[in-house]
Amino acid sequence: MRKVLIISQNFYPEIGSAGNRIKNIYLLLKENNIEVDILTTDPTYPNRNLYKDGSFWDDYDLNEDTNIHRVKIKNKRYSRSIMNRLIYYLEIAIKFVYVILRKREKYDVVFVTSPPIFVAMVGLIAKFRYKAKLILDIRDLWPESLKGVGVFNFSIIIKLFRLIEMLLYKKANHIIVNSKGFIDYITSRSAMFKEKITYIPNGARNSEISNSISHQQEFKVIYAGNLGLAQDDAIIKKLAEELYFRNIGLTIVGYGLRREDFSEYVHKNCLNNVTFISPTTREKCLKIISEHQVGVVTLVDKDVFRTVLPGKIIDYMTCGIPIIGSVSGFSKDIIKNQQVGFVSDNHDINDLISFIEKIKGNKKLQKEINNNARRYVKNNFLWEKNIEVLVDVINSP
């Protein structure tokens, strides 16, 4: 039996795509007769106070699991200062390294997920410490995404991060990506990386896939997920205003650096069509999404974000609701090619409104999109199937 060490900053009970991804990988590897330990932190995303609410700790078996090793982090995480965040990441990395140097177990495989790149470096140290195969899981391109949000442009440090990035790609025995859009970027760094790369997207469990269309009387639109630097909050503000004039409700199940600013904007402009819901468990969030008729996804119009596939797209598809997007690249291709919604090619608010009006009241279109979305999730984004790819990678020589 192979023994695997997973190293991840994010894990159950944290909300968001990263925590959900690693939770599913951990549980499903164990179901496939692979022995797994995980090194992680106490939950802090999007803020540590959230997890004082016991409803987030809804998995008794994981709560009692002795194979989960958590380190406590003193620094706060989601400061607006990028330097404070880097210090936070460094603290995590240092404490992870301390645990690894003291941990005497033997591992056949180290699975490490990035970003942040500092945690990925811990995986490289663990590879040599345990003389193990290293699987590098790339959930976002770092440092490219730092440049994409326009808050970090120290050229010397960016250059250093790129050197670390190349080292990780070279030393990894295998590279997992959660978006096909990452493959061209990584292989552009060196063609030799192509044979190492395997695509394993974020996904849903079979039990999560919705089989019905919302029967709510009121037509409502939802934005679920992070309101951070990578999301185009300006267009969401415009959307909120336009929906107000059309008497259409907008629900925000959001968190992140821009949430407070967005809330202040709604209050200032008296947009009483906007409802804010506090971050909640994945099960409850999917239920809330399924009670709406349209899901919104936006990303800043930068090259790096053409490569990503936001988790909310998969969540909307899991719930079978039409998607309207202000996105480009890989995300846009999936939404349009799979006929699960509509995308504005020019990131134009008028396009998004016209899409919503097209969907409103058109039950036939909603049903078609519902069927397309559920079919695509079952065929491409189902964890019970996709875990088999990772099991093969782990068991390979």
Q: What whole-number distance in Å separates Cα of residue 297 and Cα of residue 325?
A: 5
Q: Which residue has the tokens 């990584």?
A: 186
pLDDT tens digits for the chain (397 residues)?
899 999 999 999 999 999 999 999 999 999 999 999 999 999 988 888 899 999 999 999 999 999 999 999 887 654 556 677 788 889 999 999 999 999 889 999 999 999 989 999 999 999 999 999 999 999 998 776 666 555 666 778 788 888 999 999 999 999 999 999 999 999 998 899 999 999 999 999 999 997 666 666 789 999 999 998 788 889 999 999 999 999 999 999 988 888 999 999 999 999 999 999 999 999 999 999 999 999 999 998 888 888 999 999 999 999 999 999 999 999 999 999 999 999 998 889 999 999 999 999 899 999 999 999 999 999 999 999 999 999 999 999 8
* pLDDT for 331: 95
Nearest to 386 by CA among 281, 307, 314, 306: 314
In three-state secondary structure terms, 275 is strand
Q: What whole-number distance in Å separates Cα of residue 341 and Cα of residue 217?
A: 21
Q: What whole-number distance in Å separates Cα of residue 127 and Cα of residue 121?
A: 10
Count of other CB atoms within 10 angstroms of residue 177: 23
Q: Are 312 and 334 in contact (CB under 8 A)?
A: no
Q: Are 127 and 5 in contact (CB under 8 A)?
A: no
* pLDDT for 302: 83
The length of the chain, given as a count of residues:
397
Cis peptide before 116 (omega within 30 of 0): yes
**Phi, psi (deg, nearest 5) at residue 266:** -65, -45
pLDDT in tens, 312-348: 999 999 999 999 999 999 999 999 999 999 999 888 9
Domains and CATH numbers, the chain: 3-203+382-395 (3.40.50.2000), 207-380 (3.40.50.2000)
In three-state secondary structure terms, 114 is strand
* pLDDT for 147: 62
pTM metric for this prediction = 0.94
* pLDDT for 48: 87
* pLDDT for 374: 94
Q: What whole-number distance in Å separates Cα of residue 139 and Cα of residue 281?
A: 21
Q: Are 135 and 174 in contact (CB under 8 A)?
A: yes
The burial of 176, by beta-carbon neighbours within 10 Å (0-12 exposed, 13-18 middle, 19 or more buried), is given as: buried
